[in-house]
Chain A
Amino acid sequence: MISFMLNNEVEQISDVPPDLTLLNYLRENKKLTGSKEGCASGDCGACTVVIAEKNDSGKKLEYKAVNSCVTFLSALEGKQLITVEHLAKGEELHPVQQSLVDFHASQCGFCTPGFVMSMFALYHQSNEPNRDDVLHALSGNLCRCTGYRPIIDATLNACHNKQPDKFDLEEERTLAQLDALPREQQGIDGLYTPKTRQALANLKRNHPDARLFAGSTDLALESTQQLKTLNQLISVSQVPELNVLQEEENGVRIGAAVPLNKLKPLLLKHFPMLDELHWRFASMPIRNQATLGGNVANASPIGDMPPALLALNASIVVDNGENKRNIDINSFFTNYRQTQLATDEWIESIFIPYLPQDSISRAYKVSKRMEDDISAVCAVFNIEFDDKHQITRISSGFGGVAATPIKAVELKQLEGKNWAAKSTYELGTEILSQAFQPIDDVRASAEYRQKMITNLWRRFWLETNPSTARIQTRVISHA
């Protein structure tokens, strides 16, 4: 059984197909057709709903927008699912709704419920958001009609004139209702939600064909796009070991099932150069679900975090319930979408060592569209120095240039050289121009990718040398 609240009602579900998406559950089972399907692949946001759950203190509710089309019902366990139908108080629209009306921000209206929900989440998360905050919050919602200007204005207006809404007023009651939901369940038949490492190991043993998932932002597409039937699913989201988020002596440890938005503060505290990679990773609602573990396990050559982990010399802890292994990220990806993970194993956590004092690193992503696009090329560079500015260690990671996420091993030749010397840059360019044989695909040609490898190297050099650092190298300056 999976228990949750659908708007104000307690729902207990036991008899649905495991791969039923939230969107289909709402539209087909509950006949709540306010949430729309625009793509069923997480790309358009028409299906956006909000999930409210207790925050870490347990005393407040936290509201997060998610794409209901790529989410399975297990994500609701113990939480409140809020849909567009529930926002108004009788005839009185919610402030974010009223603001959209007042700013003439809906035309065909098909995207509108999704925007409403993303705005509603922002309304609850942020005080006085600025324009950038609004863009990020709504980065997963496409509108083909308005050009967005009125939506941005409407959002700023609603959030800057914030009043407690009915959800604030009902918060205590909702918390109590959530507390009263039955716990310690293991999901439903075919859709398991183990709460311990051991339970996960047992389920995996008993259902060897079952697919693991965390945020399901990759896996769900197999069902919604490829029309596969996924009848054995195990969610790893509630296993405590996979939810750690801690600063250790030598680095940070990130549980495989921690969503990207949740790990953001810790990650960016120690690795601020990952900021752009983070906000350009998918969209706000996807990042509310997508996990680092999922990104690594998915082993896509165009995933954005593996290049960063390669350049930062991370290691992956894998587990099968009995033994844990520590795998160097450099040997983790073995072939196109293949990893060292054995069939009975899962990823428990990712460890990223702190950067030494004298080091510089940058992470770059190039894609057709700035927001919510998959990298044509992703490149991450990290250089450590001695006190004479000689390179003592160089590491890198690339996405989109080979069958796996990959590093440029040959760059080792730069060790011992002076980073500021033009010859060092040139040697690097020469090495990188031969390092990989990227492919042509829908996102970019092989030639362009090749150019990006060396051009991003150039950008890196320009940005990190005192003599050239004042040169503007970016068209977007992100706050």
Chain B
Amino acid sequence: MRKLIELPESPISDKQGRIGKSTKHESATRQVSGKARYTDDIPEQVNIAYAAVGTANQSSGRIIEINLTEVRKAPGVIDIITVDDVPGHTDIAPVFDGDPILADGQIKFHGQPVFAVLAESVTQARQAALKAQIKTSDENSEPACLSVADAKEKEHYVRPPYSMMRGDFAESYASSQHQITQQFDVGGQEHLYLEGQVSLALPEEQGRMMIYTSSQHPSEVQKLVAEVLDVKLHKVTVDMRRMGGGFGGKETQAAQWACLAALFAQRNQRAVKLRLPRMQDMITTGKRHPFSNSFSLGFNEEGLIQATKIEVAGNCGHSPDLSDAIVDRAMFHADNAYYLANCEIEGLRCKLNQVSHTAFRGFGGPQGMLVAEAMMDAIARQLKEDPLTIRKRNLYDDDKRNTTHYGMQVEHNLLPDLIEKLEASSDYWSRREAIRAFNETSPIIKKGLALTPVKFGISFTAKHLNQAGALLHIYTDGSIQINHGGTEMGQGLHTKIAQIVANEFGLPIDFIEVTSTRTDKVPNTSPTAASSGTDINGKAAQNACITVKERLAAFYAEQVKGDAEQVKFEDQKVTLGEHGIEFSELVQQAYMSRISLSASGFYKTPKIHYNREEAKGRPFFYFANGASVSEVSIDTLTGETKVERVDILHDVGNSINPAIDIGQIEGGFIQGMGWLTTEDLKWDETGRLISNNPATYKIPAIGDTPEVFNVDLYPRANEEDSIYNSKAVGEPPFMLAMSVWSAIKDAISSLSDYQVDPELSTPATPERIVDAVDKLIATQGF
């Protein structure tokens, strides 16, 4: 550069780049005008070809022959691969082995990819993929295991059972005044990210491979692509600008498609795109784990829990994937917000002939928390108390009952206060009365009300993942590019990072450009998961800012002969005492004086540790909290439900961006509501997924949004030193929807004058609700 860029005359004075402001999503304008580019929208290379996968038609069996003659002959076909054609690793499992890139001898689940085909058009590839004949034999192959009960009986586990305990369950159970046992099933959940799985692989010179993908974990895609291609990591670059939704479904399970595209790209030296059609996406990628849960519960006259024995049995599908950590998280959260005095919690990781279930917002936490909420409802009915009263009594307190069953102290316990505020703002008690009165005169339609809390531990439970990196460049006009290891899937991460950088430098938001996540900019990153995106990448970005700021401050302090520590970056200016200079001006001077304007930043989460053998430690940096009140109406004739009103108070610490945080809360709640009500995964008796498209699998539609939907942020800073003392918000709100489930049970229970706690597995579909109603009427004679 010989001549510096001319600086604009009148500086832009947009002050939006501040923390706590509802800065617009960085892509909003592009999204509404159709200009935001997703992987499938990237202009195509002239030599591009398209891949499709061919899948197994049964749930188990040994493959004897894959007859591809007709596939090869199909119009437009260029290439076909099976597992035998993979030069490097054939197992693309993220943690423990077990995820073959294409079926390797054994068929593990109905719909498992067995081969892949490359053709000149998308349709040709997909049509060709239907033409294979896959011959299998049941000899030397175990019969398919298709239920959790069956897996438990045969002790078919993808990972060994694990337990956490405290005190003496048996003794305190025996001496408890009341005892209840219950069993219920918790349904899984299809991610149904609106943008399906897609990857584009471009072969480049020197044997390099460029991957564009819709993935929450570019670094893992890079590693797996390198492994299957049998090349070093530095040969592979992954670029990820944005996803059309991820929710956990693209944490590990986006890699397979990238690897297959890369294999074809390497073999044929052509650009290759693999985009799954929706039905295949739903069949071949894992879901939220369905669980079978049970508990034995002892409690006293006040409803205080004395003893609990909980079993959470996760349906992991055919391989471990992330299931060990997911079932662990269910166990960590089986207390939700309540103190479990003497307890034993066992987690099973059942192995079934199903697609391998995977991460999904909450990561097992929601399935575990439902146990805690089920216990609260059960106690309340037995003691004929309002469930809210029982919930409040069992909360952790600041005194003796303040340590979790895994030995982590619940510090800064704000739920008692938060619940009290919500109780008042939602008018809980007077609505309770009104609902009772309504139900007395309404024989068919029944209303229900429930308040449930959420306490969710923030951090990856795999300690090493709690690290992040960022790369900051300041250009000579003062504009800044920031790159970090997190991925943007709609959650507003890039917007928050831009705000953080803008805030650090005292600049308007449009000085900051967050660029796509790339493995050649920030290496060895963690997945964008566990709600940690802003926490860890925000800190890393901030650290990069601090590094450059220190250089600039030192440079400026030297010029004006002051103390570098006193230099401030505010309102597009850098000031020191009475001295001041335009930020961009200083940047140019710094450049001319050969000061580096680029830095990387790094962060690792402090304080966390966990000893898995002893099942004790502090796996979480802090807890995010919230509570919600839901009011529902149910039709006892059809089971149809309407969520009439929802009030939420949620703790995000100091909000970096209230609009984005509220968006996460509302969206998480509705997604959770879908999980607990209409989203009904069904497999037939052969193990085939039959709820395999959006016509048969129903996520909430616009009419399901409650008409009264009050969402407030609980105004209190995070006591821990998180980025600007904010709190993670991606996952926690999902579990707020538990109040919908509990309110439905409340409505059903009204048929027994609130004497009986109805059994209600999830999702609480119309069918399940009618069954629960009928069962209650039949067995109780109400």
- In the bound assembly, the distance between CA atoms of A459 and B24 in angstroms comes to 48
Known: A38-B194, A39-B694, A88-B33. Contact between A147 and B669, CB under 8 A?
yes
Residues of chain A with a CB closer than 8 A to B659's CB: 104
Q: Please give 20 more A-B residue pairs, beta carbons under 8 A apart, in addition to A371-B701, A445-B767.
A: A35-B34, A38-B194, A39-B278, A40-B277, A41-B694, A41-B695, A44-B194, A97-B33, A101-B29, A104-B660, A108-B242, A109-B490, A113-B32, A142-B701, A144-B667, A147-B700, A366-B640, A370-B642, A370-B703, A371-B702
- In the bound assembly, the distance between CA atoms of A154 and B767 in angstroms comes to 34
Interface residues of B in 484-520 (CB under 8 A from A): 489-492
A–B pairs, 26, beta carbons within 8 Å = A41-B694, A41-B695, A85-B34, A93-B29, A97-B33, A104-B659, A107-B490, A108-B245, A108-B246, A110-B195, A111-B244, A139-B702, A142-B192, A142-B699, A142-B701, A145-B663, A147-B669, A152-B702, A227-B127, A368-B766, A370-B640, A372-B701, A374-B695, A444-B767, A451-B774, A473-B635
Q: Is B554 on the interface with A (CB-CB < 8 A)?
A: no
Q: Is the CB of B667 within 8 A of A145?
A: yes
Q: Is the CB of A366 within 8 A of B766?
A: yes
Segment touching A, from B37-45, B78-86, B407-415: B37-45
Residues of chain B with a CB closer than 8 A to A144's CB: 191-194, 245, 247, 667, 671, 699
Q: Is the CB of B196 within 8 A of A38?
A: yes
Report B673 CB to chain A, min CB distance, Å.
9
Q: Is the CB of B690 within 8 A of A442?
A: yes
Q: Is A151 on the interface with B (CB-CB < 8 A)?
A: yes
Residues of chain A with a CB closer than 8 A to B490's CB: 106-110, 145
Residues of chain A with a CB closer than 8 A to B678's CB: 368-369
Interface residues of B in 640-674 (CB under 8 A from A): 640-642, 659-660, 662-663, 666-671
Q: Is the interface of A mostly helix, strand, loop or mixed?
A: loop
Q: Is the CB of A472 within 8 A of B126?
A: no
Report B60 CB to chain A, min CB distance, Å.
22
Would you give the 0/1 interface string for B20-37, flagging 1 where the beta carbon is closer than 8 Å to chain A? 001011011111111111
Known: A106-B25, A106-B31, A475-B640. Contact between A135 and B767, CB under 8 A?
no
Q: Is A83 on the interface with B (CB-CB < 8 A)?
A: yes
Known: A462-B444, A472-B445. Contact between A148 and B702, CB under 8 A?
yes
Residues of B at the A interface (CB closer than 8 Å) are: 22, 24-25, 27-38, 40-41, 43, 123, 126-127, 130, 191-196, 242-247, 277-279, 442-445, 489-492, 633-635, 637-638, 640-642, 659-660, 662-663, 666-671, 678, 680, 682, 690-691, 693-696, 698-705, 707, 709, 765-767, 770-771, 774
Q: Is A250 on the interface with B (CB-CB < 8 A)?
A: no
Known: A144-B192, A148-B702, A225-B693. Contact between A106 and B638, CB under 8 A?
no
Closest to A42 in B: B695
Q: Is the CB of B278 within 8 A of A40?
A: yes
Report B311 CB to chain A, min CB distance, Å.
27
- In the bound assembly, the distance between CA atoms of A36 and B669 in angstroms comes to 25
Q: Is A33 on the interface with B (CB-CB < 8 A)?
A: yes
- In the bound assembly, the distance between CA atoms of A200 and B490 in angstroms comes to 49
Report B709 CB to chain A, min CB distance, Å.
5
Report A298 CB to chain B, min CB distance, Å.
14
Residues of chain A with a CB closer than 8 A to B243's CB: 108
Residues of A at the B interface (CB closer than 8 Å) are: 31-41, 43-44, 46, 83-85, 87-88, 93, 97-98, 100-101, 104, 106-113, 116, 131, 134-135, 138-139, 141-152, 225, 227, 229, 366-374, 376, 441-445, 448, 451-452, 455-456, 458-459, 462, 471-476
Report A362 CB to chain B, min CB distance, Å.
13
Q: Is the CB of A152 within 8 A of B705?
A: yes
Residues of chain A with a CB closer than 8 A to B37's CB: 33
- In the bound assembly, the distance between CA atoms of A152 and B702 in angstroms comes to 8
- In the bound assembly, the distance between CA atoms of A225 and B126 in angstroms comes to 11
Report A304 CB to chain B, min CB distance, Å.
14
Residues of chain A with a CB closer than 8 A to B278's CB: 38-41
Residues of chain B with a CB closer than 8 A to A139's CB: 701-703
Report B630 CB to chain A, min CB distance, Å.
13
Residues of chain A with a CB closer than 8 A to B130's CB: 227
Q: Is the CB of B637 within 8 A of A106?
A: no
Known: A146-B663, A147-B671. Contact between A43 and B33, CB under 8 A?
no
Q: Is the CB of A108 within 8 A of B709?
A: no
Q: Pick from A85, A448, A459: contact of B767, CB below 8 A.
A: A448
Q: Is the CB of B195 within 8 A of A150?
A: no
Q: Is the CB of B123 within 8 A of A141?
A: no
- In the bound assembly, the distance between CA atoms of A445 and B770 in angstroms comes to 12
- In the bound assembly, the distance between CA atoms of A87 and B243 in angstroms comes to 24
- The CB with the most chain B CB atoms within 10 A, among A84, A366, A373, is that of A366
Report B534 CB to chain A, min CB distance, Å.
14
Q: Is the CB of A33 within 8 A of B34?
A: yes
- The CB with the most chain B CB atoms within 10 A, among A46, A109, A441, A448, is that of A109
Report B763 CB to chain A, min CB distance, Å.
9
- In the bound assembly, the distance between CA atoms of A111 and B693 in angstroms comes to 17
Q: Pick from A38, A113, A445: contact of B34, CB below 8 A.
A: A113
